[in-house]
Amino acid sequence: MSLMDRVREIRADEARVDETQLGTARQALLREIGREQRKSTQRWVGFKVAAGGLAAISAVVAGTLLVPLWTDQAATAAEVLDQVADATISAQDTQLAPGQYLRVDRSWERVERWSSALADDDDPNTHPFVPVTEPADGAIHLRKGSVLFVPADRSDDWVYDTGPAESVVASYGQAGDRAAAEKDHWIGESEPNQVIALPGGKSQFLGRTALLDLPVSMWEATYEDMPRDPHELLQWYHDRYEAEGGRDEQYFDDWLLGSFDDLLMVGLAPPDLRAAMFRMLGLVPEVTLTSVDGDVATLSHVGRDGTERVLRFDVAEGTFEAIGIDQLTSGPGSDAAAPMQTISFSIVDSAPDPTQ
């Protein structure tokens, strides 16, 4: 049975409850559970995680019996994601006063692999940095960060601080030092840090800085079209998958998880849509809960091609704060920290002045 067929059978006869009351109760209970278990739960480290035993807790709040998120051998990804969905309705981006900004700090780490054979073949059409699945004799670990300031009125100017240039933090393999030196040379030719005004959040093309990592405006119209019911939203994604040429049903969930690789797209979605997205992920059987540390829960999905995605949520804040994608199983760079994107949110009273 395909994922879509299984999903159509889920919760078909389930009674609805008062989401506001349940959400408030869950959040209050969650914070108490986090305090009690912070010392005993396992810390999330890269992709090497395991679920530890967690004490069973239950509570009665406002006359409703709650079976908490973290019960011994009973916690599921769907329960975690329901908690995140409840909390995201009142997340920080809903609390901005006029004139304030939502500060969005982003960072990402990745691994690039290097082929000396391609570097030395005198063919101008080949490139020595190769996909992580290709043969290589060197690798480098790269890190980059940026900051986006989103105004309370999103039709006003957003401010994008592109941050320092990407940096090489480690090298691996026989040709790792050579790869690092070549990348440092290319980085030295990159554009300097810029602070850019984006009217209404619209991306701009500025020389070699095309801001392709900031596709904010691309999603604005799409947000309006996306259903707020998790089952209908899953069908919406399925229709999109087919429209983009996806014909093999068994790869749909891989494609679906890949659509969540853009943390900014998810983080800046309207709160009710974020809630639907999180609950929709809970409908995917292959998404599993792997660890909990206080308010932070880590989920995992292994694709048909062996690619592992690890998704990290702050359950109390209702934020999707990190995603890691691990494709390297052997060769140079396979012992590096897995490629990771992180995002965090805070409210500030001002934004830096644009440099252009």
Instruction: Write the pLDDT tens digit of every residue in 31-46.
Output: 443 334 333 332 222 2
Q: Is residue 56 part of a domain?
A: yes
**Residue 92 domain flag:** yes
Domain boundaries, position 115:
3-348
pLDDT score, position 335: 63
Q: Look at residue 77 and tell me if it is in a domain.
A: yes
Local confidence band at 344 (pLDDT 50, 70, 90 cut-offs): very high
Q: How high is the pLDDT of residue 200?
A: 82
Assess whether pLDDT exceeds 90 at residue 229.
Answer: yes
With respect to residue 118, please indicate whether it lies within any of the assigned structural domains.
Answer: yes
pTM above threshold 0.75: no
Q: How many domains does the chain have?
A: 1
Token digits of residue 221: 């119209």
Q: Which residue has the higher pLDDT, 41 or 144?
A: 144
pLDDT at 246: 77
User: Is residue 354 situated within a structural domain?
Assistant: no
Q: What angle do CA 322, 101, 318 make, to 5 degrees?
A: 35
Question: CA torsion, points 288, 291, 293, 298, in degrees to nearest 10?
Answer: -40
Residue 166 lies inside a defined structural domain of this protein: yes
242 domain residue, yes or no: yes
Residue 106 lies in a domain: yes
